[in-house]
Amino acid sequence: MKPLDPRLIRRSRAARRFLATGAVLAVVQTAAVVAFAWSLAALVAGLVAGDATTAARDAAVVAASVVMRALAAWGWDVVGSAGAQAVKREFRADLLAALERRPEGVPEFPSARIATLLGPGLDALDEYFGRYLPQLLLAVLATPVLIVAAWTADWLSGLTLVIVLPLIPLFMALIGLATQAVQRRQWQSLEALSRAFLEVLGGLSTLMVFGRERRQVARIRATTDDYRVRTIRVLRVTFLSGFTLELAASLSVALVAVSIGLRLVDGGLTLAIGLFVLVLAPEVLLPLRNVGAAFHSAAAGVTASGDALDLMAAAGGPATGAASAGGSPVAPRGGLEPRVAVEPHSGLALRGVDVRRGDATVARGVDLDVARGEVVALTGPSGSGKSSVIAAILGFADADGDLIVDGLDGAGHAAVAWSSQSATLIAGTVADNVRLGDPDAPPELVATALRLAAVDDLAPETAVGPENGGLSGGQAQRVAVARAIHRLLARDLGVLLLDEPSSALDEAREASLARGLRELAADGRAILVATHRMPLAEAADRIVPMGVPSRA
């Protein structure tokens, strides 16, 4: 488990700002510590010797050093809190943007794991930036300076500190190995708890129908107990490691103190130098002790940030902060260039487009035109690349070639309305699902979209449960198509993409949907439908078969 993932620094501008500001605060705090130790030693030594000529000046420096250190500590709180919020905001925005590019999902990252990461997972960064990273910066910057100051004043005490100092990192490394294992198991237990709860919630209506809802209580209880046990184990390691670090630091300071005391007795060391080094000794070890103590509370943040960076890498997401500053467009995945204006073109055009899924090319040399005012059916057997072509148009699949969507060169789902093969609805009403993404559109568009999508058997107020609960497969599919049509009309887009919109419909509903699509085309929209159902394909103006490179 790395204390600071280099990818975090490379990807997050907020993290880099935090580290830069933290370095300044560390320098200020270190200067305050040295000034405090020297002025306090001089003040006490002067008073013991009966020389009060510099007492007022030394007392003023002591007071100023205390105020400076207090202000630095306050600055750490402010910078840590602001840094955590900024990094969480960047992570969440870029994770969602990366996931939006991969609607098919990301391997090894199920929805429950992603939900846990976006929620309580990233919230753990509060402790990471608020407590752990400040102490890590102090350990890197302040500790060497304080050792040099102690060595300059008394080389023997400095040598003692250099010898005993590695003991604390050694104990930290051993403790870190144990912490990494128990923290990872706790994190996996939290993911299992989230997944179990989500599964029960999604299937609750079905469980209630069969009278099995009570049997899930034991499952949730067992998962919760497992998470509780693993959390207690993390706390146990935390307390034991804290005791170990305190013991090592106390013994180290005691060695320095005994050496100074013996030399003060035999006159080999002045009181001012002895007090100065004695005050500095605990400060030399303090940052490392605090790093060890804060590591456990921040371990969840270390794990969460690592998971977030892994997820963004797996999903092909942008560098953190890249999309959030300045509103600069982000280049789509694959070989297609960013969206730029080209010569006017109405509808959709593909020229020599090759679509890839991983290392495999699933569609090669696709040439296709869909003009405004026509419906084009993309047909072919399963696996011929119909859905992959639509994914390339949307920017969800890697592709090379020329792709023009309504006069703009490059893939992008912002320029089109679309509905995928799987109907994914939210809990609420039919109207809530149709209006999703455009809640402020004119209310009458809901009824229009439902009519054009052949949703004449459901009222807008019909309730929809989790996982499309309460609707049949065909009803959910038509509601999803209505949502795409609502987006098309609300945003006045020119292109509509539908992937297998009638796979779960009977012939009558399919014919009604075909009439609705013809009506949209007559209104000047370009409609591309990927389907293996011939009745819907025959209702189109043209049929483009997939499986071999085709020209329409």
Q: Give domain limits for the chain.
A: 1-147+297-316, 155-268, 348-545
pLDDT value at position 215? Answer: 75
Alpha-carbon distance of 163 to 166, in angstroms, equals 7
Report residue 189 as tokens.
């237990």
pLDDT value at position 240? Answer: 73
Q: Chain centroid to CA 239: how far?
A: 30
Alpha-carbon distance of 386 to 32, in angstroms, equals 68
Q: What is the DSSP letter of 521?
A: H
pLDDT value at position 104? Answer: 61
According to DSSP, the residues that pair with 379 across neighbouring strands are 545
Alpha-carbon distance of 545 to 532, in angstroms, equals 10
Terminal Cα distance for the chain, rounded: 55
Alpha-carbon distance of 129 to 151, in angstroms, equals 32
pLDDT value at position 550? Answer: 42
* Contact criterion met (CB below 8 Å) for 319 and 11: yes
SS3 405: strand
pLDDT value at position 40? Answer: 92
Alpha-carbon distance of 63 to 373, in angstroms, equals 80
CATH class of the region 1-147+297-316:
mainly alpha
C-alpha distances in angstroms, 275 versus 156, 236, 523?
14, 37, 88
pLDDT value at position 299? Answer: 67
Alpha-carbon distance of 359 to 60, in angstroms, equals 70
pLDDT value at position 320? Answer: 37
Q: In which element (H, E) is residue 42 found?
A: helix 13-48
Alpha-carbon distance of 83 to 80, in angstroms, equals 5
pLDDT value at position 501? Answer: 93
* Contact criterion met (CB below 8 Å) for 449 and 434: yes
Residue where the block lists tokens 């910057």 = 141
Alpha-carbon distance of 532 to 206, in angstroms, equals 31
Report residue 24 as tokens.
């300044």
Report residue 366 as tokens.
């696709």
Spatial CA neighbour of 264 closest among 48, 51, 56, 55: 48
Same fold for the pair 1-147+297-316 and 348-545: no
Alpha-carbon distance of 89 to 126, in angstroms, equals 12
C-alpha distances in angstroms, 436 versus 130, 377, 429?
37, 26, 11
Give mean pLDDT in consecutive 10-residue pieces for the chain, a chain of 552 residues. Answer: 70 84 90 92 88 86 93 89 86 83 70 77 80 84 90 89 79 66 73 76 73 76 82 76 74 86 85 90 83 67 78 62 33 37 62 84 88 92 86 84 77 78 87 92 93 91 84 91 94 92 90 94 93 90 74 41
Beta-carbon contacts of residue 455 (< 8 Å; ≥ 6 apart) = 430, 475, 478, 479, 482
SS3 346: coil
pLDDT value at position 34? Answer: 92
Instruction: Look up the CATH architecture of domain 348-545.
Output: 3-Layer(aba) Sandwich (3.40)
Alpha-carbon distance of 432 to 447, in angstroms, equals 12
